[in-house]
Amino acid sequence: MSTFVAKADGVTAVRETERKYEAADAVELPDPARLIGLDTGSQAQEQQLEAVYFDTADLALARAGITLRRREGGSDPGWHLKLPVGPDSRDELRMPLGRSSRTPPAELLGLTRVYTRGAAVVPIAQLNTRRRRWLLADPEGQALAELVEDQVTAHTMGEQTRAVSWREVEVELAEHGQVELLDRIERQLLEVGVQRSGYGFKLSRLLAEELSAPPSAPKPTAGSSAVDVVLAYLVTQAEQLRRYDPLVRRDAPDAVHQMRVAARRMRSALQAFGRVIDRDRTRELTMELKWIAGELGGARDSEVMAERLAAMLAELPDELILGPVAAAVTRSFARRIADARQVAVAALDSDRYLALHNTIDALLAHPPLTPAANRPARRELPKSAARVYRRVALRMHDATSQPEGEQRDVALHEARKAAKRLRYATEAVRPVLGKPAKRLQRRLKKVQELLGAHQDTAVSRPVLRELAAQAHLEGGNGFTYGLMHAAESARAQRVERDLPAAWKRLRKPKNIKWFKRH
């Protein structure tokens, strides 16, 4: 049983939170009726399941922790696409089988495009499962969890086949269950000899030989080389960029923002650490990362602006809202968001976008290193951070010397972008520098918040003028938009007043001494 998430365009999405276990045939499971300390009196349900799994020839989906299957039997037959979202959780997207089709639905295949990249998706394995299922409920009958015992017989498909059988136990949270319940049940299972599974999903057990890979690089430490630290950061951002791709396509909350941030972090790291990974040989990649962040930007900026104006309206007394202002704002931004979303999805569907990911893979596999790459990170990376810091200082000095108005707005925006690059550079080196980097991050956060607030006002003021003009043309009243514009102007002035003090606190020796000497 799973928690319902959403349903759109024929696709039902559910969030599954479960844990998998292995049990030898001789292990006897605890009495399911008393497993959670409540005598629910549940009876086992018997099910026969047959699932055919689909993937590329090189198992691109399985390597990413994704499964695509066609299941018959049980309580949820159909096409299932499972996407990882956390240590014990995955989103399962379901579609009906249709007219006995053997080809995965285009709606689900589209969500895997960043992984398959045009390669054929074909049947790679079949799993037959004899299932016993118990529902665990509270005295009021509310479902808390389900216990599943599976006897699995699986075989690969293709020119060479391999068969494997095993017994598996699953515990999945139901609608009214909490994660703490999984811990309680797990303790009882471990006591009788059940063991946590080393496989995140059934298919990975069958394909253990094919999915075996060299051990991943260790996490950066104080003794790591400069290139190890930078590459670890780049790998994390590449994973995030791909993780949020299907979420952007599904229009999930905050997905555009997170995907855009991953692209920006990767681009900033390549620019900031050009002393480690040759800057000249990554310029094309940084330009492509800038492109995809820009294509996502319209959707994100429209979402933020709509939320900002709605919040401003909510703060105004009713007597100061003249005319259908809220409806006009909603109507205007609904169009903008829809148009921007089309632009974002079109970018994700483009060949240029797939080429970007191929370039990322090539970079991570064979980074163009400089002579400084293998030097100790603690000595080398502060030099790069110091250069980024000096860039921020120059931008801040330029902004404060500009006359009030558009010139200062533009200069502060440039300072904001430079501060972001410093934030990301500090973020990357924090695993090896620890507290000094963490301290600077805290000060940077305040400066960035002020610069971000100023940029928000710089963007919203022209929009408010446009909405006021449109209201006038339609015979309405622009009074409320004028009030909102004045409020935004006042916010900008407060930021400009508070920014010098925040910047001065950031520049204290204790915050920047770790790179100022370089």
Taking the CA atoms of 511, 513, 515 and 517 in sequence, report the sign of the dihedral they define.
positive
For 31, phi then psi, to 5°, come to -60, 115
Rounded CA-CA distance 147/133 in Å is 6
Q: Taking the complete model, does pTM exceed 0.85, yes or no? A: yes
Task: Judge if 48 and 17 occupy the same domain.
Answer: yes
pLDDT tens, residue by residue, 286-319: 999 999 999 999 988 888 899 999 999 999 999 9
Q: How confident is the model at residue 116 (pLDDT cuts 50, 70, 90)?
A: very high
| Structural domains counted in the chain | 3
Rounded CA-CA distance 385/402 in Å is 26
Is 221 domain-assigned?
no
Task: Judge if 192 and 249 occupy the same domain.
Answer: no
Write the CB contacts of 206 (distance below 8 Å, at least 6 apart in sequence): 125, 127, 154, 155, 156, 162, 164
pLDDT of amino acid 138: 85
CATH of the domain at 49: 2.40.320.10
Helices of type H across 117-157: none
pLDDT tens, residue by residue, 233-257: 999 999 999 999 999 999 998 999 9
Q: Which of 416, 502, 481, 406 is nearest to 453 (CA)?
A: 416
Task: Judge if 425 and 359 occupy the same domain.
Answer: no
Rounded CA-CA distance 98/95 in Å is 8
Is 514 domain-assigned?
no
Is 92 domain-assigned?
yes
Domain span at residue 395? 380-509
Task: Judge if 400 and 345 occupy the same domain.
Answer: no
Rounded CA-CA distance 303/312 in Å is 14
- From 355, 372, 389, give the residue that closes a domain: 372
Task: Judge if 33 and 7 occupy the same domain.
Answer: yes
Is 233 domain-assigned?
yes
Task: Judge if 428 and 473 occupy the same domain.
Answer: yes
Q: Are 39 and 32 in contact (CB under 8 A)?
A: no
pLDDT of amino acid 1: 45
Write the CB contacts of 122 (distance below 8 Å, at least 6 apart in sequence): 54, 55, 56, 57
pLDDT tens, residue by residue, 450-490: 999 999 999 999 999 999 999 988 888 899 999 999 999 99
